[in-house]
Structure 1
Amino acid sequence: MAIREIITVPNPLLKQTSKPVEGGVTDELRTLMDDMLETMYDAPGIGLAAIQIGEPIRVIVMDLQENEEKHPRFFVNPEIVWASEETAPYDEGCLSVPEVYDEVERPARVKIKYLNYQGEEIIEDADGLYATCIQHEMDHLNGVLFIDHLSKLKRDRAITKVKKLKRAA
């Protein structure tokens, strides 16, 4: 496994729509997902889309556990097949927009379909932080960042802040 570089705004790759994975889950794809997971844990974060490490394919890794025990999840070609009309706010952050947090309103519950690490099709319901995180990461697959849900002023401030952090590093 290898830790990869996480790209940050305003890198144009983050605005790109990711392509579906063709041919199912292969050993090569599992290696990428393992690298993504190690990168996410190192950052540290709770979710990472492949595009955030420069791979424009529809793959997400996630681990929502708050204690030391790891419970990684893998999502290949995820789709939201249903979303509740009820929404819920959450103070979101993003590894590609470091040190910026703001409230985003999203559907409170979703039903998702995806292939797991073994290539099996899974259909399940998500709510709470799981629903928020999967929607946030799936936005990445469509070239959307959480700051795109904010006003233009807040979005511009976030990008300026990240640019200043890069210059200072």
Structure 2
Amino acid sequence: MIKMNDIVREDDPVLREKAKEVPLPASEEDKAILASLIEYVKNSQDPEIAEKYGLRPGIGLAAPQIGVSKRMIAVHVNDENGNQLSYALFNPKIVSHSVEKAYLTSGEGCLSVDRNVPGYVHRYARVTVKAVTLEGEEVKLRLKGLPAICMQHEIDHLNGVMFYDYINEKAPFQIEENAQAIER
């Protein structure tokens, strides 16, 4: 079980590396790593488990965040209708996206970043992602709103990009034209 001390912090160089593709079909070791990522995100959202193990709540986690430079992510989040979306993915890739942008009014956070970084992170409002599930099934996911933002945040980790790289240093709360505000 992944705990907070297993999560690397923002000064770790692994977070700035471009992660390697996972050879498919995935090895048992890679499946176990991916399963542990989704387990952490689910556990972190369970108040009893989170308190018992001191887990910071998160809606996504990428393999580089536990020091594994491979293209694996887990996302466990509710969409705008309250539906629970849960994905454990190998080699996720954004294959298309909207022109429109969106941002979280509360800003973004990250389990690898222990400080508050104020500012808006503008991302695509909608994305289509192709990936392979833990079960080996190829999927094409169409996401919008918070799930789309979360998916982009986690895929960025696979490319060595941190959320605060997008924040405008001179005007952190400047809103891009026609960007959609998402409450969280």
TM-score between the two structures when normalised by the length of structure 1: 0.81
Residue in structure 1 matched with residue 16 of structure 2 by the alignment: 15
Q: Give 1:78's aligned residue.
A: 92
Counterpart mapping for 1:35-50 below 5 A? 35-40=36-41, 41=44, 42-50=55-63
Q: Which has the higher strand share?
A: 1
Alpha-carbon contact 2:71-2:158 (below 8 Å) kept = yes
Query: CA separation in 2, counterparts of 1:46 and 1:149?
Result: 19
Q: Contact 2:95 / 2:130 at 8 angstroms: preserved in 1?
A: yes
Match 1:63 to one of 59, 71, 76: 76
Deviation at 1:26, TM superposition (A): 3.1
Please give the alpha-carbon distance, in whole angstroms, between the structure 2 residues aligned to 1:30 and 1:21.
Answer: 10
CA contact (8 A) 2:78 2:147 kept: no
- Corresponding residue for residue 108 of structure 2: 92
In percent, how many aligned pairs have the same letter? 37
Structure 2 counterpart of 1:27, one-letter code: E
Structure 1 stretches of at least 4 aligned residues deviating more than 3 Å after TM superposition:
1-4, 69-72, 151-155
Aligned-residue RMSD, C-alpha: 2.3
3-state SS of the aligned residue for 1:80? strand
Alignment check: 8 A CA contact 1:147 1:154 kept: no
- Contact 2:64/2:158 (8 A) holds in 1: yes
Unaligned runs of 5+ in 1: 156-169
Alpha-carbon distance in 2 for matches of 1:71, 1:111: 15
Distance change >3 Å, CA 139–CA 21, structure 1 → 2: same
Length-normalised TM-score, structure 2:
0.75
